[in-house]
A and B are shown apart, each in its own frame.
Chain A
């Protein structure tokens, strides 16, 4: 499978714990995006990278959230001191070139904070 892969598929954690998710984009794609989706809502933009540079961050991304893409390939999204409100599906997508190119989405990581 040469699509976007995300790991893990599901994560259950206790409030206050730190969690880290990984996204492997399609290999030749230079743009990588993180979105968050809650039940009954569309994906909400969190941040995106052009190669290893993080170009934009949403106001939704509080100080507890950090994303990296150190070598311009895979990316990690870390949430520190998780809260129940962080429970959501975290989606990763990648694209080739500018915004006109379609996004290829991964299957997401479902986070449940107890």
Chain B
């Protein structure tokens, strides 16, 4: 079955630390890849997306993600986190332009 795995359930960092959140997906043909973020008390919103082309994708608020096809991965990174990045982060994959599957999410806590 097609699935999305996020290995880190809860990550705690201090401000200015670097961030990398893992995301792996099962093989299923053509994929479109997304990271969504949910800030406390807010609804899910798109952080960045990859469809084709340059595997290094830059999103909002200094986030980026790298698509590594051979590893079926789409890890999210940020060089220096801020307290305002405290949120839950969801990796999502759309297989063959069909429904979007989400990972279980990673809760990020940034200590001031």
How many Å from the CB of B5 to the closest CB on chain A?
Answer: 10
* Bound form: Cα–Cα A19–B98 in Å: 28
Given known pairs A48-B99, A99-B32, the reply for A42 and B49 (CB within 8 Å) is: no
**Is B43 a contact partner of A41 (Cβ separation < 8 A)?**
no
Instruction: Compute the total of residue contacts between A and B using a CB distance below 8 Å.
Output: 59
How many Å from the CB of B112 to the closest CB on chain A?
Answer: 25
How many Å from the CB of B92 to the closest CB on chain A?
Answer: 8
**Is A42 a contact partner of B43 (Cβ separation < 8 A)?**
no
Kindly state whether residue B103 has any CB partner on chain A within 8 Å.
yes
Residues in A whose Cβ lies below 8 Å from that of B104: 40-42
**Interface residue total, chain A, C-beta cutoff 8 A:** 24
> Which of chain A's residues 91-114 have a Cβ closer than 8 Å to chain B?
91, 93, 98-100, 102-103, 105-108
**Is B98 a contact partner of A99 (Cβ separation < 8 A)?**
yes
How many Å from the CB of A112 to the closest CB on chain B?
Answer: 18
**Is B46 a contact partner of A106 (Cβ separation < 8 A)?**
no
Given known pairs A42-B90, A43-B90, the reply for A103 and B99 (CB within 8 Å) is: no
Would you list 19 pairs from A and B whose C-beta atoms are within 8 A, ordered by A residue?
A: A40-B105, A41-B105, A42-B6, A42-B103, A43-B44, A45-B99, A45-B102, A91-B43, A99-B99, A100-B94, A100-B97, A102-B34, A102-B46, A102-B49, A103-B36, A103-B100, A105-B44, A106-B43, A107-B43
**Which residues of chain B have a CB within 8 Å of any CB of chain A?**
4, 6, 9, 32, 34, 36, 42-46, 49, 51, 90, 92, 94, 97-105
